[in-house]
Amino acid sequence: MTPTEPLARPAAGQAAVRPPLPVKLVIAGGFGVGKTTAVGSISEIEPLTTEAAITEVAAGVDDLSHTPRKTTTTVAMDFGCITIDPTLKLYLFGTPGQERFGFMWDDIVEGAVGGLVIVDTRRLDDCYAAVDYFEHRQIPFAVAVNAFDGKVEHSLDEVRWALDVSEGVPVLVFDARERGSVRDALLVVLEQALARSGG
C-alpha cells in the first residue's frame, strides 16, 4: 500500500478490528532481585536490555553476596511486551536496581498505570526505595517476593510488616523465571490499577 492509497475498510456488517490498548507497567526492585529475568520470562518479543558487565569498582559498591554468579547489571532499563488478550497489551519497563541510577526513574515511570516491586527476602532493605517511590507518587503497585531456589526466607505477613505497606497493597510469592507466575503477578498489578481508577 502506498501512502496515497486509502486504508482498507471493513466489509458491510463487519466490525473494525481495533489494536489492543497499550498499557505501561514498571518492574522495580533492588539490585539482582530478578527484574531482568521477569521481563525476559514473559516478553513476546526479544527483550531490550541494557546489561553491562559488573566491574571491579561496581563489585565494591554493589552487594554480590547473595548473587555471586551475577556478572552483569542493568544500567538503564529493560523493555518487553506481552499481549494479554486481543484488547490489551502490556509494555513492561524494568528499572535499574542500584541507587546511583535512580535519576532515571521519573522518565521510566512516566505514564505507567502501576508497578511490580520485586523483593528478595534475604535483603529486604534493597527494595525500600522502590516501595517508597510508588507510595509517594500514589502509583498502584504490588509486592512480589521472588522465590529464589523455590523458597522464601520470611512469611508474607512478615514481609508486609517489614516493608510497612498497607493492607491494600497485594504481597505475593512468584518465580521470576516462570512465565505463568510473572503473568499472574502482572495481572494483580492491573487489578490494582483498575481498582484505583474505579474501572
User: Domain locations in the chain?
Assistant: 21-61+75-198
pLDDT at position 98: 55
pLDDT for the residue 161:
95
- Residues of the chain whose pLDDT is less than 70? 1-16, 50-76, 97-103, 199
Strands (DSSP E) contained in 76-175 are 78-85, 88-94, 114-119, 141-146, 171-174
- Residue 122's pLDDT is 85
pLDDT of residue 69: 53
What is the predicted pLDDT for the residue at 59?
A: 45
pLDDT of residue 70: 46
Cβ-based neighbours of 76, under 8 Å, separated by 6 or more: 50, 96, 101, 104
75-96 pLDDT, tens digit per residue, is 457 899 999 999 999 999 998 8
Q: Look up the pTM and report it.
A: 0.78
pLDDT value at residue 62: 46
